[in-house]
Structure 1
Amino acid sequence: MRLLIVEDHAPLVASLFAYFEARGAQLDAAPDGVVGLHLAVTQPFDAIVLDWMLPRMEGPQVLRTLREHGIDTPVLMLTARDQLPDKLTGFRAGADDYLTKPFDLEELELRLLALVTRARGRSARRVLEVGDLRLDLATLDVHRADRRLHLFPASRKLLQVMMQASPAAVSRHQLEYALWGDEPPDGDMLRSHIYELRRSVDGGQAVKLIHTIPRVGYRIAVERAADAPAQ
C-alpha cells in the first residue's frame, strides 16, 4: 500500500511513518496543501491521509481541486473538527472517510485498508469508453477497436482526464495541471503531448476522436463530421 500523508505536524507524520512502514507500506509526505496537491496529481497513491488545517491551502480545497481534476484516489480526512457540519463539509468536498483527532493508529489502518480494498475492486471493473476507444483503469491498457495502443505515460494521463470528462471539454490549464501541477515547463509542451496522443489514437482512423476547442482546450468525443471543430 502506498500512502500520501498531507500533514504539517511533524511528530504526527513521524508516528505515521513508523507505524505504516513497519507494516510494509510505502509513504510520501507533504507539509502543506500545495505540495500535497502536486504529489496527489502527479504520482499514484493507494490512499491519501489529508489534514484539514494546512498551510498555503486547506484540506477541503485540496480535496475539491483533486476531484475537479478527475483524481479519484481514496481520501481520509484527518482533523480535530468533530462537529457534524464540519464532517458534511469534508464529505461534500469529496472525502471518502473522516477521522477525528486524537485517533488510534490501528483504527486508521483499518479504515485505510477498507478504502483501498473498495477502490481496487471498483477500479477492476472500471473501463472508460468513447466510441471504439477503451481505457481500462485497472490495467491501463488502451485499445482503439481491436488494436492495442502503446502510449507514453503523459499521453495516457491526458487521455484518462479527457475520457473521464467526455463529452465535455477540458481546459488547457486542467491538462497542464494534471501533468505538471503548479510548475508547467517553459514552452508549449502540452501541444507536443496532444500531438503524440492524437497520432496514437486518431492516426489512420476515419473517425477522429480528439478535438480542439479554440480558446478553451480539448475534448474527446464521437462527433458528426459536420459538427466537429477544427483539429
Structure 2
Amino acid sequence: MRLLVVEDNRNLVANLFDYFEARGYTLDAAPDGPTGLHLAITQRYDAIVLDWMLPRLDGREVLRCLREDAGSNVPVLMLTARDELPDKIAGFRAGADDYLTKPFALPELEVRLEALAARANGRGRARVLELADLKLDLTTLEVSRAGDVLHLYPACRKLLEALMQATPAAVTRERLEHALWGDSPPDGNMLRSHIYELRRAIDGPYPVKLIQTLPRVGYRIAVPSGVD
C-alpha cells in the first residue's frame, strides 16, 4: 500500500516511516500544504494522512482543493491535535474520510488506513496477489509459494508487491528504486542485491522461475511462456 503523509512534524514523520516501511508500505512525505496537494494530485496513493495545521496551506484547504478542484476521491485521514467536536465536523465536511486525534497508537492508524483503502478499492480486508503458486497477502504480509511460507525482508517484500501488481508488465529499475527509497536511491547496486535475495527466496528451491531480468529495462514477474 502506498501512503502520502502531509505533516510538518519531522519526528512524527520519521516514526510513521519507521513503522509502516517495516510492514511493507511505501511512503512519500510532504512538509507543507502546497507540496502535499501537488503530490496528491500528480501521484497515485492508496490513502493520505493529512495534518490540519500545515505551513502555507492548512489541511482543510488542501482537502477542499483536492475534492472540489481536482475531483480526487483518494481516502484521506486527518491526523491532528484538534480534538473538539466542531473541529471534527469541519474536517469531515471538508472531505475527510476519517479523523484521528494526536496522540494516537500506530496500530490504530494502520487499521484505519487499511479499512479506508479496502473500501476505496471495493474489496474486503483479505487482499491477496496471486501468480501461479505464489501468493502475497497484502493484509497479513504473508508470502507463500507452493504452500510454503517464505520469510522475506521488508525491502524484498516491497519489490515483490511492485512486481506482482504490475504483472505481466515489466517494472523499470527507476520505479523499483523509488518503491524502496523514494527520491533518494543509494549509490551502487543495492537494487540488484535485493533482487538477488528476492529471487533466491522466490525462485531458488522451485523448478519454475518467475522473476525475469529484462536487460536495459528492469524486471518482471510472470509465468514463463510454455509453462501451464
TM-score range, shorter-chain basis? 0.5 to 0.7
- Given the superposition, is the C-alpha separation of residues 119 and 80 from structure 1 closer, same or farther in structure 2, using an over 3 Å criterion? closer
Q: Which amino acid aligns with 1:53?
A: G
How far has the Cα of 1:87 moved from its partner?
Answer: 2.1
Q: 1:28 — aligned with what?
A: 12
Q: 2:6 — aligned with what?
A: 6
The superposition leaves residues 5-41 of structure 1 with CA deviations (integer Å, 9 ceiling, x where unpaired) of 5245xxxx7xxxxxxxxxxxxx8248xxxxx9x8899
Equivalenced residues, count: 191
Structure 1: distance between partners of 2:185 and 2:62: 35
Q: Is residue 63 of structure 1 aligned with residue 40 of structure 2?
A: yes
How far has the Cα of 1:152 moved from its partner?
Answer: 1.0
- Given the superposition, is the C-alpha separation of residues 82 and 170 from structure 1 closer, same or farther in structure 2, using an over 3 Å criterion? closer
Contact 1:41 / 1:181 at 8 angstroms: preserved in 2? Answer: no
Unaligned runs of 5+ in 2: 52-58, 101-110
- Given the superposition, is the C-alpha separation of residues 52 and 165 from structure 1 closer, same or farther in structure 2, using an over 3 Å criterion? farther
Q: Which amino acid aligns with 1:72?
A: D
- Given the superposition, is the C-alpha separation of residues 223 and 181 from structure 1 closer, same or farther in structure 2, using an over 3 Å criterion? same
Matches within 5 A, 1:93-108: 95-97=74-76, 104-107=86-89, 108=91
TM-score normalised per structure 2 = 0.64
Contact 2:127 / 2:137 at 8 angstroms: preserved in 1? Answer: yes
Query: Identity, % of aligned pairs?
Result: 44
Moved more, 103-112 or 160-169: 103-112
- Given the superposition, is the C-alpha separation of residues 199 and 123 from structure 1 closer, same or farther in structure 2, using an over 3 Å criterion? farther
TM-score normalised per structure 1 = 0.63
Structure 2: distance between partners of 1:82 and 1:62: 13
Contact 1:149 / 1:200 at 8 angstroms: preserved in 2? Answer: yes
Q: 2:145 — aligned with what?
A: 144
Contact 2:127 / 2:138 at 8 angstroms: preserved in 1? Answer: yes
Residue from 52, 67, 70 that aligns with 1:87? 67
CA RMSD of aligned residues (A): 4.2
Q: Which amino acid aligns with 1:87?
A: R
